[in-house]
Structure 1
């Protein structure tokens, strides 16, 4: 059980690590188009992201998948950039349709696999000493999910406050923050 809590804390800190702010950038871009009233959709997107993130970690932990870390480190900011650009494209459209949400689910799930691979080499080294890998993987998933839900709650709350208490329209709010995230992602790609 100690392994479970150790890995839960590791998963939580993995998301909130100031040096690994790419995770928070992705989550912020993911949540920007949604209102507080759409929290269930954001919850399902975050949960799918966690599941696919941990799937790629599990595949790495069991030695099924090995990846070039340089390639993955390039792909992660590309996923952030794509998410931000999708926000720019859809900011003036209503995010209520089931078709749009299914597309969000597919894209988020795929991006979760990529983000999980970014941590896989380090995680595989940690897991090399573990005989039983299920509890650590579940603990890590619980930590990731808890941290992600905290970030998403903060983003949705900030969105609500800014949109209720300022003259900012949702369209320009989503455009502005998505543009900032896109520029940061471009910096991560090219610097």
Structure 2
């Protein structure tokens, strides 16, 4: 069980590491439009993201898929920017009858982020025989770290819009604009051309 705890902790710490602020910004942008009462929607949203990054993380760590690190490092802030902008323009993004397009975006963007996590995870996994269990523990840790970030965003949203009575739409616009600006800065720094 020691291995599980180690890789769980590594996953949780990796997603919440300020050195990798791109992960934090993405989760923030993803849940800015929600309130505490929307907790079920948020869990589905974050789980969709986790499923996406778990798929590509596993495929990459197991050397089934290979992508250029340069392009992945560029595409990650692109996903942040798109998510932040979607908060500004989208009120009810629905695909089909009941499936929110936002959930599908979270799943798709999770595929991209999983490739970004894979380089980090490959460097610590090595070639151990227990790679599937370690990968599972790391993913569970990532999910736990994401839920901590989500909790922080929801708490901040409640304080600012609920207790301080700030207009919720203005709060979303202001935060999304700030996240978009940071994403644009990262895009320019990671420009692959």
**Shorter-chain TM-score: which interval?**
over 0.9
Q: TM-score, normalised by structure 1?
A: 0.92
Once the two structures are superposed, the pairs formed by residues 49-68 of structure 1 within 5 Å of their partners are 49-68=49-68
**Which residue pairs with 1:106 in the alignment?**
104
**Which residue pairs with 1:6 in the alignment?**
6
Once the two structures are superposed, the pairs formed by residues 111-130 of structure 1 within 5 Å of their partners are 111-130=109-128
Q: TM-score, normalised by structure 2?
A: 0.91
**Which residue pairs with 1:185 in the alignment?**
183
Flag the 1:99–1:78 CA change in 2: closer, same or farther, 3 A: farther
TM superposition shift of 1:5:
1.3
RMSD between aligned residues:
1.9
SS of residue matched to 2:64: coil
Once the two structures are superposed, the pairs formed by residues 123-142 of structure 1 within 5 Å of their partners are 123-142=121-140
Flag the 1:142–1:122 CA change in 2: closer, same or farther, 3 A: same
SS of residue matched to 2:100: helix
Q: Number of paired residues?
A: 189
TM superposition shift of 1:99:
5.4
CA deviations over 1:84-125 (Å, ceiling 9, x no partner): 0000112xx368999585201110001011011012123223
Would you say the 8 A contact 1:33–1:95 is kept in 2? no
Flag the 1:113–1:96 CA change in 2: closer, same or farther, 3 A: closer
Would you say the 8 A contact 1:12–1:140 is kept in 2? yes
* Ranges in structure 2 where 5+ consecutive residues have no aligned partner: none
* Ranges in structure 1 where 5+ consecutive residues have no aligned partner: none
Flag the 1:37–1:101 CA change in 2: closer, same or farther, 3 A: farther
Would you say the 8 A contact 1:34–1:95 is kept in 2? no
Flag the 1:69–1:21 CA change in 2: closer, same or farther, 3 A: same
TM superposition shift of 1:137:
1.1
Flag the 1:53–1:35 CA change in 2: closer, same or farther, 3 A: same
SS of residue matched to 1:8: helix
TM superposition shift of 1:171:
0.8
**Aligned partner (choices 152, 164, 167) of residue 166 of structure 1:** 164
Q: What is the distance in 1 between the residues matched to 2:182 and 2:156?
A: 20
**Which residue pairs with 2:144 in the alignment?**
146
TM superposition shift of 1:126:
2.8
**Which residue pairs with 2:43 in the alignment?**
43
